[in-house]
Structure 1
Amino acid sequence: MKITFYGAAGEVTGSQHLVETERHRFLLDCGFFQGHRAESREKNEHFLCDPKDLDAIFLSHAHIDHCGNLPGIYKAGFRGPIFCTPATAEIAEIMLRDSAKIQAEDARYLSKHIKGSHPPFEPLYDEDDVEMVMKRVETLEYRETHELDRGIKVTMYDAGHILGSALMRFEIEDEGEIKRLVFTGDLGRRNMPLLHDPFPLQGCDILIGESTYGNRTHPPAPDVKHHLERIIHEAFKNKGKVIIPAFSNGRTQQVVYYLNELVNENKLPSVPVFVDSPLSNRLTKVYERYQHLLDATAQRTLMDDDNLYHFPGIRYVQSREESMKINDLDETCVIIAASGMCESGRVTHHLAQCVSDEKNIILIIGFQAQHTLGRKLVEKQKYVKIFNKEFPLRAKVEKINGLSGHADIVDMKWWYEHLAGDEGINHTFLVHGEPDSAQALAESIRDICNESPIIPERGQSFEV
């Protein structure tokens, strides 16, 4: 068996891993490279494997760095099946259509602003390509074993990362020997709201495992309900607004879930809550359809409340006109809007209206990359630039840490040690992590590996 790493090797983007046996060639994930425009474009345009020769693609989950280039590989000639869970299939289609829309908007903008004889910018794919590739999708339920042709079986288990995310265990017959290969995709955390803990597999010959936070420990999951209750009461007292920039997939649904609990417990004043993101709204409908996949705590809540994402006072905003009217409100309200790092989307309009009023509170609930507006708010800079205009930052800025959906070193060690059991793991490849994180994880799990863990570089191949 030969494994070649084409993405998320020494980095945390562009997840793509090729597995080749004497009879099969399949890809684990087909993610978008994200980063500097020119470099990412080059990687996303050119596949290092031949898409026409692939038998299948197995998709771990629907984050863009794992699924984002499925339409691109279809355009390049791939015509095999794409296997994933039903929830991942629905979320992936929404995310890919949104990606195609953003690419079209970017291409129009760049084409207008290029200088000289540069050819027009073109999107990597469009919505027609998304529609065609989604026809290749075949869904597998958790713990349902699927036999792909002769000599290869796959079973998917809950990874606990986002709704529908999957750990994959393959049983592969190659040269007369059965080998057990496990691919983690992105491994989730234990004891987080809504989602199950990652399913503890046991027994593995070959591991392709993520290492995103292999060198750090997350702070304990915060008492988000308590923070939300306190912040909303403070804003209500001051007649201000609460602005919550939130990622559309996962983080928005977490916040709404907590607000629903607070409303049911009569712990909040009567204030309207606006979820102002068409993408978040579409994704929340998927979460509603798959509430049966949520954890035991959510299931107990569902016994008394048939929908975790609806409560008196919440409104899911669709049109731009509705969104603009929120800014005219002269009363306390909660506005949850994308994007999570405040760089684009409707949240930027709300921030422009609210950032200079000391009555308002901006609640940051996710990681903010360097140089983003979200990071500048967290740093409480005196002035922030929105729409190329400087605004004094007078609103109160609060931050809740510890809501990451990725396992940290403690959860990774727990899961990898359980996987190794008494036999150990013969071949371990650590991917989806910066070099420092991957190296730290390699050191911490070395004693459960029969051979030293390998941190592959992009394009490297290994015979196992």
Structure 2
Amino acid sequence: MIKVTCFGAAGSVTGSNYLVEASLGTKVLVDCGLFQGGKEMESRNGEDWGYDPKEIKNLILTHAHIDHSGRIPKLVKDGFRGRIITSPPTAELCEVMLLDSAHVQEMDAEWRTRKNRRQGTKDIEPLYTTQDAEESLQYLVPMERDRIIDVEPGIKARFRDAGHILGASTVELWVEEKGKETKIVFSGDLGRHDQLIVKDPFEIADANYLLIESTYGNRLHRTFEESKAELLEAIKYAVSHNEKVIIPAFALERTQEILYLLGEFSRARQLPHIPIYLDSPLAIKATEIFRKNKKYYDEAARAIVEQGFDPFAMSNLKLTPTVEESKKINTQRGSAIVISANGMCTAGRIKHHLKHNLWRPGASIIIVGFQAQGTTGRKIVDGAKTVTLFGEKVAVRAKV
């Protein structure tokens, strides 16, 4: 009997983690993501796995977003020593994503420990460390798409394009038992058919069982052209008030899409020539990986490259990897576009930019990604009059 157990992303959006078990005793994991979206949800990251990581020989990873990959270092810390099978771009992106996540875990534990010591309570251990993340990278096994591979005795897999982000895959899994083959499909996160940079999702014709993501299953998206027009209008609004445009964006894919669109506006002379800051060390590293993986672009992105343009560069784009460069942005008055992480406004440099600009009536805050319940970004989207940043209430007066 084949058994599939959801240990995450069921009843919630984040924490993707699925265990496939066959009667021969073979076990395969699909994804191993962090739970995100407020303290209650994030507390689940430290809970028992529900299985023994030492018994898992293969983990299939659909893509590099942290809600799908972010608990891999903890899995290794807890005894996993198997293969992490994924696409080549995902393997590259995990090298920067997991190390960055480990740094966040360490910083958060250090901050909470200082707070606890003042209150006379116990120190906090990070969920995992940079060393754990570095150790986990050795288990990454890149596999190209569109070829069937043997995962375990009686279990085969194939990656197909999922769109969504660079390297993202839908997984076809075939499990053979007593001469009968059962096909299980894990969609991973699916992109839209008009999505920038990456190819459209591959349409899989058949499956016995399908596990499909439904993050936006209860809503209709605006058309792509409407979203583009809204972005340009928000930029022009802030420029007309001599204020800044603040864009909280996930470092992976969403940031590159925004850069791609700004480049398109710039080449069409639709964009005012104002400074554009990419203020996220992780996004800067991820963008470089995008540049290296042109063969995974869609036709439109490849055409831009063939015309001699870099889809992610403009003459007025400034990269600010250091803390000093980041702080300097908020000392400069006048219009500018600031792209910073994280995308849900719960951590990172974006919190500083919101603190300096959220209360300014002429500024624009552009929300470009999913905002989980309990996050600062979700509160802003839901129309909160104030949000708390660094322990201080900040009025929401900017245009959202």
Is the structural similarity TM-score above 0.5?
Answer: yes
Alignment of 1:128-167 (within 5 A): 128-148=131-151, 150-167=153-170
Other structure's SS at 2:82 match = coil
Alignment of 1:319-330 (within 5 A): 319-330=322-333
Aligned partner of 1:275 among 261, 273, 278 = 278
- Distance change in 2, residues 1:237/1:139 (3 Å): same
Q: Which has the higher contact order (CA 8 A, sep 6+)?
A: 1
- What do residues 410-455 of structure 1 show as CA deviations (whole Å, max 9, x unaligned)? xxxxxxxxxxxxxxxxxxxxxxxxxxxxxxxxxxxxxxxxxxxxxx
Alignment of 1:12-51 (within 5 A): 12-21=13-22, 22=24, 24-35=26-37, 37=39, 40-41=42-43, 44-51=46-53
Q: Distance in 2 between matches of 1:67 and 1:31?
A: 4
Other structure's SS at 2:228 match = helix
Residue 375 (structure 1) shift: 4.1
Indicate the residue corresponding to 2:88 in structure 1: 86
Larger mean CA deviation between 150-159 and 124-133 belongs to 150-159
Residue 392 (structure 1) shift: 4.2
Q: Which amino acid aligns with 2:9?
A: A
Q: Distance in 1 between matches of 2:288 and 2:151?
A: 31
- Distance change in 2, residues 1:37/1:334 (3 Å): closer
- Distance change in 2, residues 1:146/1:347 (3 Å): same
Indicate the residue corresponding to 2:262 in structure 1: 259
- Distance change in 2, residues 1:172/1:261 (3 Å): same
Residue 380 (structure 1) shift: 5.3
Other structure's SS at 2:175 match = strand
Name the count of aligned residue pairs. Answer: 397
Q: Distance in 2 between matches of 1:234 and 1:392?
A: 19
Other structure's SS at 2:366 match = strand
**Percent pairwise identity:** 38
Q: Which amino acid aligns with 1:169?
A: E
Other structure's SS at 1:114 match = helix
Larger mean CA deviation between 167-176 and 259-268 belongs to 167-176
- Distance change in 2, residues 1:179/1:361 (3 Å): closer
Q: Which amino acid aligns with 1:2?
A: K
Indicate the residue corresponding to 1:109 in structure 2: 111
- Bigger Rg over Cα: 1
Indicate the residue corresponding to 1:2 in structure 2: 3
Residues 35, 45 of structure 2: 8 Å contact kept: yes
1:335 aligns with 2:351: no
Aligned partner of 1:62 among 54, 61, 64 = 64
- Distance change in 2, residues 1:207/1:383 (3 Å): closer
Q: Distance in 2 between matches of 1:232 and 1:207?
A: 41
Aligned partner of 2:292 among 285, 289, 293 = 289
- Distance change in 2, residues 1:217/1:14 (3 Å): same
- Distance change in 2, residues 1:368/1:9 (3 Å): closer
1:242 aligns with 2:245: yes
Residue 280 (structure 1) shift: 1.2
- What do residues 297-323 of structure 1 show as CA deviations (whole Å, max 9, x unaligned)? 222222213421011110111111111
Q: Which amino acid aligns with 2:111?
A: Y
Residue 274 (structure 1) shift: 0.5
- Distance change in 2, residues 1:214/1:380 (3 Å): closer
- Distance change in 2, residues 1:4/1:348 (3 Å): closer
Q: Which amino acid aligns with 2:61?
A: L
- Distance change in 2, residues 1:368/1:45 (3 Å): closer
Q: Distance in 1 between matches of 2:383 and 2:342?
A: 19
- Distance change in 2, residues 1:374/1:57 (3 Å): closer
Q: Distance in 1 between matches of 2:132 and 2:84?
A: 15
Q: Distance in 2 between matches of 1:40 and 1:243?
A: 26
Q: Structure 2: give runs of 5+ residues left out of the alignment.
A: none
TM-score (norm 2): 0.91
- What do residues 25-65 of structure 1 show as CA deviations (whole Å, max 9, x unaligned)? 11111122335646744553422111111121101111222
TM-score (norm 1): 0.79
Indicate the residue corresponding to 1:201 in structure 2: 204
- What do residues 241-286 of structure 1 show as CA deviations (whole Å, max 9, x unaligned)? 2222222122111111001011111222221111111111111111
1:307 aligns with 2:310: yes
Alignment of 1:419-434 (within 5 A): none
Q: Which amino acid aligns with 1:59?
A: L
Q: Which amino acid aligns with 1:288?
A: R
Q: Distance in 1 between matches of 2:325 and 2:260?
A: 23
Other structure's SS at 1:223 match = helix
